[in-house]
Structure 1
């Protein structure tokens, strides 16, 4: 009888393989970053770690089986013997935040088989950032890769050992049974369900919710008290990340605040914190923003007895050479500040104080910003291109409650505008989609009476615009309104201004545009930017980390788009949106700013954040199945909308390809326990003030999942990019985009009117550009508009091996190619002279939705997430 040299059964094969692999070693490589403080190694931590190594306290890893459960431990995957990182002492990390690679060698254990996770214990004194573990030549599997991207603190900081999973993707129900308990326990750890805790510490990994009760500082005085946002009908708001800080002494409902010097240590889960490069940028931001907390004597030295620019030439000097340092300032700095903390702000190397880059809006033409054409173009291609609407009734009406606010109907008449409609009647212009409106009347009117009790003197505005045959817009009337002096119930008093290019009337028209822009700037920062991007996204981040395992496909899809958002928001609450912070200093709504954004949240809906839905709701587009994106723009040359729709379609195609791979039918969506828990918690807790709203997607179908994920990604990437990264280019020259007003419109017969007639620029600057808030605003938007060197742009991942699914990796590559094609299309459109709104009088090409960018102040680039 002939005998085959091959085993005759799978059992014989297994026995033979096990025998063959006895004594086998599995080689692995760990990539990590040792602890750093900003860009410099923590030498003390490094020395202590070396001592730990010499004493036998090392970093150990144990593999967890994905195929064999332990009957003595709830059938959780078998855990292997420890292996240790090799040569920690001799492997010296570079003096920057660089990576170091370490070898690790495991004994192959047949009880482990194919590992699906591993346990890591850090017995050192300091934390390190664990990037990846890669195993080579695992019997029965080959290469196994683990994407970690997490800070690992000393073991005594944790109640449970840290567990990391391989880069495979599983719905909860498909998880290998030996890994299921580990998957569930990891989510419990992130929720902190089994912990009693007070103030959260930097090593805590707890994602939880809190109200916006950290804005005020009543212990500093009653003028610093602010209402709690969230949890009430009066002040609804999205939830933010919990810190656990104790209450203030004055008000038990207000959370105590950190000192400014502690801003870099504000609690967010450690893996949500910025990396070293981003931290450096944040420090630069704090230093640039120091004027808000400068002692009065420094303020006096800087601005002397005046708080105003004398001329446009004085403003332009900020870009051409900076300001002269007043006598005494250098001595005060050297006597009163530690080290080089003010190096970013005060130069002592011969450079003048506060020299800024030249904003693009004045780079080519220093007067183009004054034109009506540029004013109108920026409503379509500026930093707040998401507010303009099509006018569908005349005169514009108000939706404010008549019993409370009286008659707020617009006082603009046909006599004001009909001569500017190119021969059309008002009805014909409306019918032909020729009239548009920038309407900030209803939003600001209920707050104006209180706002104007501060140093602000502002109006509520309506701006009407006509669509020319060449695709450009022209402003044809601006209505400025104030609450009736006898009471809100009597309505408002309004005055209408129309374009003029002659004498004092042209200066008055310039003032009217300024007041309209003040309204729009407040809407931009507090609603379009902060609320619609930053604040509403944070609950998505928290809920995803609490309810979606890192193994879950939707977690893997969305995680890059949540990078840095919690840290950005937490830092903003410390220096930007807090009582007395930057926003209250530079935005006309002053101490009512965040309260006003709460009022805007009352009308926020998640489905309307989808770009096509937003455009249709604003009347600037209509559904059209024959159009390339399913909608047809009524302003064809609308750069934000045109480029945005390109990105929206590319994102949705990617999301559809991705979700369709894991969800074959609606029932799979309905039966996904983690997905359903995420969506339920997001609505019921993260956005609980809106949880009863019927418009929320039910998350019962594949279409709802695809649309929701597309919307989340669009908000975090394209929407935020469009309203953030052009801020310095457009608003770095404050006269072009004023954020506050300190005087009302000059009335004939007054000294203010005479100054307007004889020196219009000085009158304009007195009203719209007080010196210190202007400098603070310029410094702020310069930092916010910059890309760091470690930026990730749409379509990019921080590791190439983020999943093992080849079809998904191919779809990801297709997405990148689509984005490259969009870049080429944007470049081509920006060279098309027929598309006048893409360039304009100021000669600024519209590149804010150009997907990629270099580091720095580039006025382009779509990062994956809201990270500044």
Structure 2
């Protein structure tokens, strides 16, 4: 959007009075509420983990307390790639990437039952996470201290107990002598340090790619095209507009308060400064239609059958419920494919998205026009899913998984280890962000995670713009389907040590508003 700030937005796209008031109160009182106001300017390093524990007490959710308990454990490290705040990177590994210097001899002893690495890849039990988009970025300087970013590659193994365990970590992309491959066989301090660099990289990737780019920026693009292309009487305007409520204002605020010069992410994270725009450019260039369509993304990453992947399970059910509703509404107004082809306003809408979103590259896979009812329904499902469910999955988990800072450092102040045997608990503490950087990060995460006073759940305003009986009945069935899914998710979570709640429809907001 072309806006100098929130005040230049049209009145109908601005926050409600209650939301605006809530935001002002939240920003002014957050530090007091968290008891962190006296640490806001404290540019000193941490002396011990107990000091971190004491500072972060008021940001602790029940899950965050478990994160503090488990963050050193390998099984929990692996768990986060499936059900943490950034569950979109992991993929099945069918062959070891040439840039990852892992051999059978290195990891063979870590696999159960004397099986080989090749056998486990054939059985579908090997997985890889590659932070290649972070490669080559110049890390930020925070408090006049150089921070360090790595672009790790992580190899994981699904064992017979269905635990996803890391077995190799290479912290940079090039396999050279000064870039060793770490494994659980190394000293505990070396292994924990390697995992911490991965978690810091994950924080950077999460905030800018999976959170800001894939949900905020894409929803902004869809919202702008909708406002520019459809009159208010158009059925797709009625279907889509509830899912863009407050999106333009929250994105303007994100640029102003987080990403601009002086913004919290820009000033206090390792991926701030010049690295922010460079990373977003690379992430935008790599974004595809498949990435945004959950069923295709899951299949493309080879993650269809991995047990305990609740992001996938809940997300696919939610996708199907949204698709059923969208397909019903679209089919009601478009009686055949010719109706879709002849709708000039609809074709203008997708053209706006492709042109202004720079999504026309054939390799990205986005449709440049709509030729069928089914193609249109699938695309609109993607738009609604990313503006609601996908945003909830990556936004609402932040305080739980990032509230304990050592599990997701906003930056690291020591370079990654270039050899084994030189790490310790003291060197790890020394690498953590300063107290004030931690406080800025925690406050931001807290504000982004806090449920607004005027929260509208997914489907809460589905029938608001429709006057016809049948679309209103479809909206009512949509809400009933969502309630059934809520019951199923809550019943399953009763038996889980770490419940997965982020795609419970009752906690999924209808649009990107925070």
Provide TM-score, normalisation by structure 1: 0.55
* TM-aligned CA deviation for residue 829 of structure 1: 2.0
Match of 1:575 among 257, 262, 284: 257
Is the strand fraction higher in 1 or 2? 1
Question: Distance between the aligned counterparts of 1:770 and 1:568, measured in 2?
Answer: 28
Pair 1:766-2:451 in alignment? no
Cα pair 2:139 2:270 within 8 Å, conserved: no
Which of 451, 456, 466 is equivalent to 1:803? 466
Structure 2 counterpart of 1:283: 24
Please, which of 362, 368, 372 is the counterpart of residue 74 of structure 2?
372
Aligned-partner Cα distance in 2 for 1:589–1:672: 44
- Tell me what 1:779 maps to: 443
In structure 1, the residue matched to 2:156 is 465
How far apart are residue 288 of structure 1 and its match? 6.3
Q: 1:390 to 1:747 in 2, by over 3 A?
A: closer
**Contact 2:92–2:126 (CA under 8 A) maintained in structure 1:** yes
Provide the residue aligned with 1:433 in structure 2: 124
Cα distance in 1, alignment partners of residues 419 and 302 from structure 2: 39
User: Is 2:41 the counterpart of 1:308?
Assistant: no
Q: Quick one: which of 106, 118, 142 aligns to 1:416? A: 106
Query: Take 1:361 and 1:732, find their aligned partners in 2: how far apart are those partners?
Result: 10
Q: Distance in 1 between matches of 2:7 and 2:429?
A: 37
Equivalent residue of 1:643, what SS?
helix
Give the CA deviation at 1:300.
Answer: 9.4
Is the deviation greater in 311-320 or in 657-666? 311-320
Report whether the alignment pairs 1:612 with 2:288.
no
Superposed displacement of residue 766, structure 1: 2.1
Other-structure match for 1:36: none
The offset of 1:290, in angstroms, is 8.6
Deviations 1:340-398 (A, max 9, x none): xxxxxxxxxxxxxxxx332334435742222111111111111000111111212x13x
CA distance in 2, matches of 1:508, 1:557: 53
Which residue is equivalent to 1:343?
A: none
The 10-residue stretch of structure 1 (560-569 or 789-798) with the greater mean CA deviation from structure 2: 789-798
Change (3 A) 1:499 1:636: same
Aligned pairs (5 A) from 1:847-858: 847-852=501-506
CA contact 1:448–1:483 (8 Å) conserved in 2:
no
3-state SS in 1 of match to 2:362: coil
Q: Indicate conservation of the 8 Å contact 1:823/1:850, yes or no.
A: yes
Name the counterpart of 1:696: 366
Q: How many residues align?
A: 505
Q: Secondary structure at the match of 1:481?
A: coil
Counterpart of 2:210 (choices 517, 523, 528) is 528
Higher relative contact order (CA 8 A, sep 6+): 2
Report the aligned-residue RMSD: 2.6
Q: Quick check: 1:274 aligned with 2:15? A: yes
Over 3 Å counting, the alpha-carbon distance change for 1:476 and 1:663 in structure 2 is same
Q: How does 1:728-743 map to 2 (within 5 A)?
A: 728-743=399-414
CA contact (8 A) 2:39 2:439 kept: no
Kept in 2: contact 1:849–1:862 (CA 8 A) = yes
How many Å apart are 1:604 and its aligned residue? Answer: 1.0
1:138-287 → structure 2 map (5 Å cutoff): 241-243=1-3, 245=4, 265-287=6-28
Secondary structure at the aligned position of 1:411 is classed as: coil
| 1:707–1:515 Cα change, 3 Å | same
Q: 2:245 and 2:330 mapped to 1: Cα distance?
A: 21
CA–CA separation in structure 2 for the residues paired with 1:780 and 1:607: 30
Q: Give, in whole Å, the separation in 1 of the partners of 2:63 and 2:434.
A: 20
| Higher Rg | 1
Mapped partners of 1:479, 1:584: distance in 2: 27
**Which whole-Å deviations, capped at 9, do the CAs of 1:91-125 have from their partners, x for residues lacking one?**
xxxxxxxxxxxxxxxxxxxxxxxxxxxxxxxxxxx
Aligned to 2:247: 565
The aligned counterpart of 1:195 is none
TM-score (ref. length: structure 2): 0.92
For 1:635 and 1:748, the matched residues in 2 are separated by 34
Change in Cα spacing, 1:588 to 1:360, as seen in structure 2 (3 Å) is farther
Q: 1:821 aligns with which of 481, 484, 492?
A: 484
Counterpart of 1:584 in structure 2 is 266
Unaligned runs of 5+ in 1: 1-240, 246-262, 292-297, 321-355, 398-408, 485-490, 621-632, 833-838, 853-860
Structure 1: distance between partners of 2:485 and 2:498? 19
Q: 1 CA distance for matches of 2:222 and 2:40?
A: 46
Question: In structure 1, what is the Cα distance between the partners aligned to 2:130 and 2:67?
Answer: 29
| Whole-angstrom distance in 1 between the partners of 2:298 and 2:89 | 10
Question: Which residue of the partner structure matches residue 844 of structure 1?
Answer: 498
Q: Which residue of 1 aligns with 2:133?
A: 443
- Counterpart for residue 379 of structure 2: 708
Structure 2: which 5+ residue stretches go unaligned?
Answer: none
What's the offset of the Cα at 1:470?
2.6
Matched, 1:723 2:394: yes
